[in-house]
Structure 1
Amino acid sequence: MSATPLPNLVGRHHERAVLDDVLGGLRAGESAVCVIRGEAGIGKSVLLEYVAAQASGVTVARAQGIEADMELAWASLHQLCAPFLGAVDALPEPQRDALQVAFGMAAGDPPDRFLVGLAVLTLLTRASETRPVLVLVDDAHWLDQVSLQTLEFVARRLLAEAIAMIFTVRDPEGAGALVGLSELRVSGLDKQAAGDLLVTSVEGRMEPRVRDRLVAETHGNPLALLELSRGRTAAELAYGLDAADPTSVSTRVEQDYARRLEALPEATRTLLLVAAAEPVGDARLLLRAAELLGITPDAAPAKAAGLIEFGESVRFRHPLARSAAYRGADPERRREVHRALAEATDPVLEPDRRAWHAAQASDRPDEEVALGLEQAADRARQRGGIAAEAVLLERAASLTPDPWQRGRRALAAAEAHFSAAAPERATELAALAGLCPLGPLDRARLARLRARMLFGRSRSDEAAPLLLDAAAQFAAEGSPLARETYLEAISATVFAGRLHGSHGARAAAIAARASGAPPSGSEPADLLLDGVATLLADGDELGVPALVRSFEPFAHEELTSRDATMRWLLSVPVALESFIHHRWDLPAWDVLSARAVRLARDVGALSALPPALIYYGGVQIHYGDFAAANRMIEEADAIATATGQAPHRYASLVLAAWQGDEQAATGIFEDARISATEHGEVSLLGVTGYVQGVLYNGLGRYEEALAAARTGIDHDGYNFTGLSLVEHVEAAVHCGELGQAQESLARLARLTKAADTGWARGILARSQALLTEDDGETDQLYRTAIDELSLDRVTVEVARTHLIYGEWLRRTRRRADARDQLRTAHRMFDDMRSAAFAERARRELLATGEHVRTRGAEPEARLTPQEAQIATLAASGLTNPKIGAELFLSPHTVEWHLRKVYTKLDISSRRELAAALAAPGADGVQAPTSA
């Protein structure tokens, strides 16, 4: 790449120092991200040119955000990646396929933008192995949405690569873009620097009072100083500028550009309008359009006025110059220009741009143009450009003459806007669709969309009846969407935390069974719905067997497309909730959640990966591997943060309770309570009752445990009732509330009877032992509980049963037997880092007269959750690139973490990892302090 001339910067000493540090670190192999923020004309782009000019020995890749190009999916990312696409065939296959589909280089299922992001990260990383890579993105707030989201994902994953990314973002338009990344805020020049800049740009000696007035009026904005003084003498400035102008600096600069445009020949103004309307900057396309408009392309006056630069590509001197050229033109003239651009654009190579220009040229409904936009929207969807699809469909709807077709396209646009996380536009388009005549199926789609929007806002019971109504409409029309929507309605009621009532999960299940809905096209999904509906409508005795029949087909369903995989991932939470809380089936929980994590990683579905990790983390908690659970929770939180999702709290709550750190747990519980009350996530109240029962039982504060577990039981939710009953029985026995304990035991017996798993039989046997008076029977019940819980590897409950058994043995004066059970419990809880239960076991051992060794202080060099996860994968034989693909990291970042692991474990290679990780405490992680 040729060197960029060094711009003549006045002042900006701090800003240059920051950017010099970024370049210095980059040359040393360090990654960096910097977002330069400031108002229009403040000098952000000049600072970007300064960095480019200083970047000797560095590969510079650039992208420019253009407002008129915002709706073309992947356009900006394609522009940035173009220099590196020669290496695309060397990418791992899923990444290569995703990138090629996104860029229109191949056909295929719509790619997940985060899998595309990983492909971009891999491309840049491989390029950085030869030379450091500097990515410069100007006007990032005007990138198309999917490109911006993807680049933000890449920026958040940089750690050990020789890659630096510098973005410029205009305030206030870009206030919501790239939030949380390292920022450099640029304000106006100080009085001295601004005065020096102004003096160098005017003819003649400037009176100090005039200079100071101009500096004050422009707030030191350098572009405003230069543009408002360009071509004026000091004398003119002394009398010609209106100091009372109340408009903003950017508006005033744009107005100045408009005045300069007015002085140009008409043909030149038209040429600039063509350039402003076509953001690609293709000079040959511009010349073809000019010929169609019948004008001679004379750019010299515009170049002389400092408005535009012509070469192989066309570039405005500043976005405000482009804006002035476009907005200042007569609407009819703008339509003529778009009409010429549509005709000049190749219909085979650039069909989407051609359709967009044709739409901009239309001033009345036109079915041919609307159809072209709809086809462009479909191509955008296939490339994963949901935001572009939404905008293209919205414009197509506005140009559609037939009201039936208009309603159909408006509905499709609303659905696309909702998928693209633009609920306001989705609401407006849904309202438009509602005013148009719609067929029965489209009315059902509209009802489902409105319910989804409501559920997304409040997660309350209000969405369920709307979803049920939509499902009934689908069923009446014989649509395969009916069963999918019924399952969605049940999910909404489960999440909203209500089992009974007219809008509860049971009512939804009864409606689903009575609907006569046709098959959905997925037999395993239909079996799952039948099982869940039977469970809810008829109870566990009939429902659990039906649920069990669905397990094998659903768990091992062959998924032949990305859409099928996404549907499976959307259904798996309902299956997991059922198998966990009604089937008491930890092995099924393991199988389903492990597959969900694997599938989400394979297709790059980062929206589905965090909940899958949370469920899989729950498995690890019950296996007693708190370190693994914490790694999964941390990864889920990191991905949710990077992708703008809300955190998933459930596993954090359960882990905090079993770890027994009251201070940390209390904060997590309070956050969950606030979320439940403020945002309608009522199911959190059920889990909070259960986890507080676990925490306070572990701490031996049984009255608090009794009250907490009672709230979990009374919650009337689909889940956590059974687990809350277990906590309630134990707490009630310790509090002497035997009547309450017997009542909860009877209910627990009914819930576990149909399940008939090791977990269910074991937890019931232990609870029965707490209330059995015959010593021989009690002894046998505890032994049965240990055997049954061990059968399903419910390790936390095995350890707890040893503890409760040992406590009973001590009270019956069988001290030797008690010590055996309590030693086992203490060792297991101590190994898990379950502090409260370990301390409870320690106190009981002391009461038997046994000295208990206290765990020594943990070594300072503990592995972090991510280090432990990478070390575990490396020890299993995975290469750095495969670990990177697994965890959405670059191989360089994996290697960087491994070097830290080697140092902490005092080893020198991955051959030693397995043995080092097997050493006591080697893979321990710090306990989390927040959800």
Structure 2
Amino acid sequence: MKRRLVLRGRHAECEALERLLKAVRAGESRALVVCGEAGVGKTSLLEYLVERAPGCRVARAAGVQSEMELPFAGLHQLCVPMLASLPRLPAPQRDALVTAFGLSAGPAPDRFLVGLAVLGLLAEVAAERPLICVIDDAHWLDHASAQALAFAARRLRAESVALLIAARTTEAAEEWSGLPQLVLAGLSDDEARALLNSAVPGVVDERILDRIVAETRGNPLALLELPRGMTPAELAGGFGSPRATALPQQIEDSFRRQLTPLPADTRRLLLVAAAEPVGDPVLVWRAAQGRGITVAAAMPAAGLVEIAAQVRFRHPLVRAAIYDAATPQERQHVHRALADATDPEAEPDRRAWHKAQSAPGPDEDVAADLEQSAGRARARGGLAATAAFLARAVELTPDPQRRAERALAAAKATHQAGPSDTALNLLSIAEAGPLDELARTHVQHLRGQIVFARHRGREAPPLLLQAARRLEPLDVRLARETYLDALLAARFAGALGHGDSVREVAHAAAGAPPAPHPPRAADLLLDALAVRYTDGYAAAAPMTTRALRAFCDAHISGEEGLRRFHLVCMTAMDLWDHETWYLLSSRLLRLAEAGALTTLHLALAARSLAHTYAGQLPEAAALAEEQETLTEATGSRHTSHSALMRVAWQGREAETAQLIDDITAKALTRGEGFSLTIVGWAQALLCNGLGRYEDALTAARQAREQTAEGAAAWEALVELIEAATRSGETEAAADAFTLLSQMTRASGTDWALGIEARSCALLSTGHAAETAYLEAIDRFGRTRIRGELARAHLLYGEWLRRERRRLDAREQLLTAHEMFAAMGMEAFAQRATRELQAAGGTARQRPIESHTELTIQEAQIARLVREGLTNNEISVRLIISPRTVEWHLSRIFSKLNITSRRQL
């Protein structure tokens, strides 16, 4: 009978693991990062849990330092034994995982979709019996695997899955931050002395024991290993050479001393095994035999490595010590042997990597192999690996021109993978090479994209504009797309930009070569926006309408939709075209849900703002919750303009002020004037709702001052007109109305004409005012824009009360109050209540309809079920597993005393 593992001095930690295991057996899920320095006992704790999990399925993976650049290598270890459950996943997730593992060809999958696929796969496997996933040496996982596993770990809820991750405290990747941690310290002095005594035979000076305990700080592996490298004289009285090195260097030094007496062939065999990251014994022996090493060489290494069904070192530091102890030439020879022994058909990327590690200097053949590996990595969605292969290829490329070209490709891949500083360094290498004009322009274009991605402020527009101009004679299509990027960047910079304002960019875009015939939707949009910022809103309105119609009607690829639909939604809002905005924000959301989770933030923001204008604030708030969920899951950071507008409409003064402070600070740092325009607009809207008209006027004026040159910012004009008329500044209101009416008439939508009629009424008297209010109510009534309709009823009611038509006033004010209250626009509702009381009326109390017993996530799921989404579709939206959706639904049914989805 196998003896159960007992860990000295780890009583509290073992109890924590047993509680975790109990919860998983009960149907819950847990993720835990066991972290601490090398040798502190992380692996032993993982083994302790596995040993106490009979009846559970155990899946393992381990990071390997030399494999860190191979995409999804760690994830492949963990998930390949589970692939029989793959057909049960939703198609987008299944395809993403199959492509990531190189099992089929396809477009590079979104990295977060791979994480969601892993979550779904773990849940499906755990449906049969509890699943224990053990990830050792997570600090050495490849970036793609670490990201996907961390994504899944944060979304585990009720799948009966335990995800145990062991990583060094100081080296753990950022991906694991925020997960529950079990931090291991060294053993207590008493426990450390007991462990040391058990490992050291013979007579040992007590003072030497005390010194070892103190120096190792209770590190278990150090306590066991250090004495093995000490002479009897050192142990008996300290009569040896003193060493004052820090852990884990001390431990590695101890392992190196154990290597010294071994035969030369044994040391060479150990180096082959240390340099081979997969633990494949066949490959290790094939490479060893290629160097003339026989099986007999393994016998003296029995205490350090086991070469059986898999190659396993006694501890990862043994591997590190062996590899670090070798000379550069010895490592090159070993990697050459491994490259020669690796099947070029089955493992071309590993072979290329070993060849690269064996190269003593520039080598075009090796660089070309790495370039091909980069292409395969990109097809699997391994952007970090793509960048790593290309970066190494740059180092090995002897020809200056090819080196510069590969540096540009590496910079592009690195930018997509995330590290912008590294991408900029690679761009510098590319710029230093003999590139042709097209390639140099690509360098500048990429630099502009990187700068815009980092800070949507003043630095990007000049770079993108110059790149667009240089591209004109070289690549018309790319030049036009770059002009569109430059216009967007200039619009974000707004009044905080320096040089190359949006008007200047538009003038340059207007002079660009014409689009090929027939023009694409993006070409129509570029032409419309160029006219918008050069000749004015009215001149561009028909062209803008045509461009929006093209995006609605033409076949737009998923890639193009993901890239452009957010800008198109902004343009539709600018044109008061809520129907197009509503339609394309819905399409963008569907595209993002199908796998482009990096775009999902923008999609949720566009849709949330569309719901806000429709007066559907609960729906907008639910989408905001989804944005928060996405931020937590992906670590993304986006300025929340949609959330700011929602709380401003709701009249939540404290929340609005907090968001304004946060957004303003970031905008000033980045040079992002567009955000300051939004801030002023939101502040003016809030103050008008609260009846603080002078404050609203100040905020609206500030918004106008921050507006990009050539942009009219109708939202601020609307708030300015109401605030100015109520503050007695009718001249300012009239000037603003002149600008506003030029745009509303050019737009011609009911939303636009309703805005014009209501604003005109504020400046009118008598019959003209009443006619205008009635027209505004009629116009808004034909649209989804419920908030503006309620404001029209409110303003009409306030006018009627001043005209002493109290009965008519009460009717309008009551309608306004009920609409505002139903939509959750509390500041406007209270303003309507005050006016209604002044007119001699009373606001009816609305019954409160809410399911306060539901949690936020349960309420989200209930809402999505009502919208007709399946469990799989809900799992994508909320970034949880379908099993967790099912678990939440059972709780929802119980709380609401219902039995079916239809009853929701």
Quote the offset at 1:876 in angstroms: 4.0
Conserved? CA contact 1:627–1:865, under 8 Å: no
Conserved? CA contact 2:491–2:674, under 8 Å: yes
Deviates more, 1:762-771 or 1:205-214: 205-214
Give the TM-score of the pair, scaled to structure 1.
0.94
TM-superposition CA deviations, 1:482-515 (whole Å, max 9, x none): 1221111111111222499741122112212212
Quote the offset at 1:566 in angstroms: 2.8
Match of 2:565 in 1: 572
Aligned equivalents of 1:143, 1:517: Cα separation in 2: 49
Quote the offset at 1:709 in angstroms: 1.1
Quote the offset at 1:443 in angstroms: 0.5
Quote the offset at 1:833 in angstroms: 1.3
Conserved? CA contact 1:687–1:720, under 8 Å: no
Deviates more, 1:641-650 or 1:778-787: 641-650
Quote the offset at 1:9 in angstroms: 1.0
- 1:601 and 2:593 aligned: yes
Conserved? CA contact 1:355–1:376, under 8 Å: yes
Conserved? CA contact 2:88–2:124, under 8 Å: no
Quote the offset at 1:901 in angstroms: 2.7
TM-superposition CA deviations, 1:525-581 (whole Å, max 9, x none): 21221222221222112211111111222234434xxxx523321222222222212
Give the TM-score of the pair, scaled to structure 2.
0.97
Match of 1:894 in 2: 885
- 1:660 and 2:651 aligned: yes
TM-superposition CA deviations, 1:892-912 (whole Å, max 9, x none): 211232233334434333221
Quote the offset at 1:243 in angstroms: 9.3
Distance 1:658 1:874, change over 3 A: same
Match of 1:912 in 2: 903
TM-superposition CA deviations, 1:73-96 (whole Å, max 9, x none): 111111100111122233322222
Match of 2:307 in 1: 310
Pick from 433, 438, 445 the counterpart of residue 435 of structure 2: 438
**Match for 2:752: what amino acid?**
A
Match of 1:797 in 2: 788
- Aligned pairs for 1:368-517 (under 5 A) are 368-498=365-495, 502-516=499-513
Match of 2:608 in 1: 617
Conserved? CA contact 1:10–1:193, under 8 Å: yes
Match of 2:81 in 1: 83
Conserved? CA contact 1:712–1:720, under 8 Å: no
TM-superposition CA deviations, 1:906-931 (whole Å, max 9, x none): 43332211xxxxxxxxxxxxxxxxxx
- 1:726 and 2:724 aligned: no
Deviates more, 1:869-878 or 1:693-702: 869-878
- Aligned pairs for 1:144-183 (under 5 A) are 144-174=142-172, 176-183=174-181
- Aligned pairs for 1:858-869 (under 5 A) are 861=852, 863-869=854-860
Aligned residues: 903
TM-superposition CA deviations, 1:131-178 (whole Å, max 9, x none): 011111111121111111111111111112111111111121115231
TM-superposition CA deviations, 1:102-135 (whole Å, max 9, x none): 1111111111122222222222111111101111
Aligned equivalents of 2:199, 2:464: Cα separation in 1: 65
- 1:691 and 2:689 aligned: no
Distance 1:460 1:249, change over 3 A: same
Identical counterparts, % of pairs: 47
Conserved? CA contact 1:483–1:520, under 8 Å: no
- Aligned pairs for 1:103-502 (under 5 A) are 103-174=101-172, 176-230=174-228, 236-240=234-238, 245-304=243-302, 306-498=303-495, 502=499
Structure 2 residue runs of 5 or longer lacking an equivalent are none
Conserved? CA contact 1:626–1:833, under 8 Å: yes
Conserved? CA contact 2:458–2:670, under 8 Å: no
Aligned equivalents of 2:163, 2:267: Cα separation in 1: 36
Deviates more, 1:826-835 or 1:634-643: 634-643
Aligned equivalents of 1:825, 1:302: Cα separation in 2: 88
TM-superposition CA deviations, 1:21-70 (whole Å, max 9, x none): 11010000011111111111111111111111111111111110111001
Quote the offset at 1:796 in angstroms: 0.4
TM-superposition CA deviations, 1:830-856 (whole Å, max 9, x none): 111111111111111111222323456
Match of 2:699 in 1: 708
- Aligned pairs for 1:14-53 (under 5 A) are 14-53=12-51
- 1:850 and 2:847 aligned: no
Instruction: Say which SS state the counterpart of residue 57 (structure 1) adopts.
Output: coil
Conserved? CA contact 2:196–2:223, under 8 Å: yes
Distance 1:5 1:533, change over 3 A: farther
Deviates more, 1:236-245 or 1:904-913: 236-245
Conserved? CA contact 2:266–2:301, under 8 Å: no
Structure 1 residue runs of 5 or longer lacking an equivalent are 914-931
Aligned equivalents of 1:172, 1:117: Cα separation in 2: 25
Instruction: Say which SS state the counterpart of residue 643 (structure 2) adopts.
Output: helix
Pick from 616, 632, 646 the counterpart of residue 623 of structure 2: 632
Conserved? CA contact 1:31–1:164, under 8 Å: yes
Distance 1:130 1:487, change over 3 A: same
Conserved? CA contact 2:204–2:237, under 8 Å: no
**Match for 1:643: what amino acid?**
T
Match of 1:922 in 2: none
Match of 2:830 in 1: 839
Conserved? CA contact 1:803–1:825, under 8 Å: yes
Instruction: Say which SS state the counterpart of residue 182 (structure 2) adopts.
Output: strand
**Match for 1:371: what amino acid?**
A
Match of 1:753 in 2: 745
**Match for 1:365: what amino acid?**
P
Pick from 736, 739, 743 the counterpart of residue 728 of structure 2: 736
Match of 2:58 in 1: 60
**Match for 2:703: what amino acid?**
G
Deviates more, 1:730-739 or 1:68-77: 730-739
Quote the offset at 1:682 in angstroms: 2.6
Aligned equivalents of 2:151, 2:863: Cα separation in 1: 25
Distance 1:296 1:715, change over 3 A: same
Distance 1:856 1:238, change over 3 A: farther
Quote the offset at 1:475 in angstroms: 1.5
Aligned equivalents of 1:324, 1:108: Cα separation in 2: 40
Deviates more, 1:872-881 or 1:8-17: 872-881
**Match for 2:755: what amino acid?**
I
Conserved? CA contact 2:222–2:251, under 8 Å: yes
Conserved? CA contact 1:660–1:836, under 8 Å: yes
Aligned equivalents of 2:240, 2:730: Cα separation in 1: 87
Match of 1:923 in 2: none
Deviates more, 1:426-435 or 1:870-879: 870-879
Conserved? CA contact 1:41–1:250, under 8 Å: yes
Conserved? CA contact 1:657–1:692, under 8 Å: yes
Match of 1:916 in 2: none
Quote the offset at 1:640 in angstroms: 2.4
Conserved? CA contact 2:72–2:144, under 8 Å: yes
Instruction: Say which SS state the counterpart of residue 69 (structure 2) adopts.
Output: coil
Quote the offset at 1:719 in angstroms: 6.5
**Match for 2:153: what amino acid?**
A
TM-superposition CA deviations, 1:348-390 (whole Å, max 9, x none): 1001111111111111222111111100000000000010010
**Match for 2:426: what amino acid?**
L
Quote the offset at 1:878 in angstroms: 3.6
Quote the offset at 1:8 in angstroms: 3.5
Quote the offset at 1:643 in angstroms: 1.1
Aligned-residue CA RMSD in angstroms? 2.1
Match of 1:531 in 2: 528
- 1:780 and 2:778 aligned: no
**Match for 2:743: what amino acid?**
L
Conserved? CA contact 1:803–1:822, under 8 Å: yes
Instruction: Say which SS state the counterpart of residue 288 (structure 1) adopts.
Output: helix
Aligned equivalents of 2:510, 2:3: Cα separation in 1: 72
Pick from 576, 591, 594 the counterpart of residue 584 of structure 1: 576
Match of 2:98 in 1: 100
Conserved? CA contact 2:810–2:840, under 8 Å: no
Match of 2:820 in 1: 829
Aligned equivalents of 2:736, 2:856: Cα separation in 1: 38
